[in-house]
Amino acid sequence: MLFYDRMQFAFTITFHYLFPQLTMGLALIVVYFKWRFLRTKETVFNDAAKFWMKIFALNFVMGVVTGIPMEFQFGTNWAKFSELTGGIIGQTLAMEGMFSFFLESSFLGLFLFGEKLLGQKLHFLTGFLVFLGSWASGYLIIATHSWMQHPVGYEILENGKFVLNNFGALFSNPWLLPSFLHNQMGSVITTSFVIAGVGAFYILNNKHSKFGKLFVKTGVIFGLISSVLAAFPTGDLAAKNVVKHQPVAFAAMEGIFETEEGGSEIILIGQPDVENKKLDNKLAVPNVLSFLTYQRWDAEIKGLNEFDESLYPTNIPGLYYAYHIMVGLGTIFIALLGIALIQLFRKKLYSTKWILWLLVFMIPFPYIANTAGWYTAELGRQPWLVYNLLKTADGISPNVSSGNTLFTLLGFIGLYLLLGMLFLILAGKIINKGPETSKEI
């Protein structure tokens, strides 16, 4: 039963998060374009803002449609978890729905249809409030997730229920800010590659070239900045939280089976052999992991041999590969965007076809990197729902059979496949049509 419950939630939340990661990043870019228009009065920026807000709206709708079934699972498949921890996670989830979602959805409509009525400054304000709502939504969701990773401000009653005794602790959780900022940088990376990829597509097909150049330039600059920030300091701070609060998860994701004296090497390539507690065919750089973690070349990092096997993450290979996929793709993003930025400064980017083709080809990979990042966080916490306090096996609904869960999972797969195809068709139509060029305002 537990396997199917976990598979269903993993599938629905993985598919759902394909959409919010783009909307959160697009909200920032739309505000940027609208701000540039107010400063320069160049209509290309206003047209770009309205074009990408159409994609935002489509993503937003898909995010809502796929998010509702996911949240219902707290009451169906994970009723025991909700019963025990609802007094805490219900706070942040309710705030996300009542404040962030309604702020985002209300002003989205005003941005899409109210430009002439509101005027340009108020139109910018509606875009900013959409941005504020989308990022506040991410913040409150990650506040919930951070409590599950590093529970604070709680007490456990005699009946096993968790209650909140310090509301402020939810938002001063040391896990929260690094995780939120790292996640948001991941969202901006996804958006940057989508924008740059669409711009490159326009240039390569010799249509909407003015917008194509703007999109490529914007995507490359925002993408490189966010890729660097995702690695340092946000990724570095998030990893140090794992070292401090979940050391066994850190050892597993880095592939450290034995504690090494004199400093730990960083693994570039290798295949974990859990049964024999070693890495096969590894390629490593000595002492670098110790320096990155503690700023000392000889710092000791505990290996899995230091912990009881009952504390091991339940899927060490999955955790290891998810983490290395995320880091590996992040490194590739920095390298590609760095080269693209150099070509931009040399005024050769728009004619360098191999980079433009790579920007188009790379559109799916930030989605993969973000998914791998979330899998790293979730697999690292297992076998716990609330770290060190509530096991995953103790949070499922006892009255929902595995057959029912499997049946609904297959239904979700079929339905989401149709929704995904519909999204690609609609997004393709918007992109193929291109931005509408307005008269000088």
pLDDT band at 441 (very low <50, low <70, confident <90, very high): very low
Average pLDDT of every residue of the chain: 94
List the domain range (segments joined by +) for residue 346.
176-203+214-399
What is residue 280's DSSP assignment?
E
The pLDDT of residue 439? 63
The pLDDT of residue 97? 84
pLDDT band at 70 (very low <50, low <70, confident <90, very high): confident
Kindly state the greatest CA–CA separation across the chain.
69
Average pLDDT, integer, range 388-415: 92
Residue given tokens 């929260």 in the structure block? 176
Average pLDDT, integer, range 309-319: 95
Q: Is residue 149 part of a domain?
A: no
Query: Can you point out the beta strands (E) in 50-200?
Result: 154-156, 162-164
Average pLDDT, integer, range 191-219: 97
Average pLDDT, integer, range 409-432: 95
Q: Is residue 112 part of a domain?
A: no
Average pLDDT, integer, range 126-149: 96
- Tell me if the bond preceding 233 is cis, omega within 30° of 0: yes
| Cα within 13 Å of Cα(52), Cβ side | 33
Q: Total structural domains in the chain?
A: 1
| Whether pLDDT at 386 is above 50 | yes
| 403: amino acid identity, one letter | G
Q: Is residue 140 part of a domain?
A: no
| Cα within 13 Å of Cα(90), Cβ side | 14
Cβ atoms of 219 and 32 closer than 8 Å: no
What is the SS3 assignment for 212-258?
Answer: HHHHHHHHHHHHHHHHHHHHHHHHHHHHHHHHHHCHHHHHHHHCCCC
What is residue 96's DSSP assignment?
I
Q: Is residue 94 part of a domain?
A: no
Q: Is residue 133 part of a domain?
A: no
- Tell me if the bond preceding 383 is cis, omega within 30° of 0: yes
pLDDT band at 75 (very low <50, low <70, confident <90, very high): confident
Cβ atoms of 153 and 167 closer than 8 Å: yes
Q: Is residue 253 part of a domain?
A: yes
Q: Which of 97-106, 143-152, 219-228 has the lowest mean pLDDT?
A: 97-106
Q: Is residue 385 part of a domain?
A: yes
Cβ atoms of 68 and 415 closer than 8 Å: no
Q: Is residue 318 part of a domain?
A: yes
The pLDDT of residue 440? 52
- What lies within 8 Å, CB to CB, of 17 at 6+ separation is 370, 371, 374
In degrees rounded to 5, what are phi and psi of residue 162? -90, 135
> What predicted TM-score, i.e. pTM, was given to this entire model?
0.96
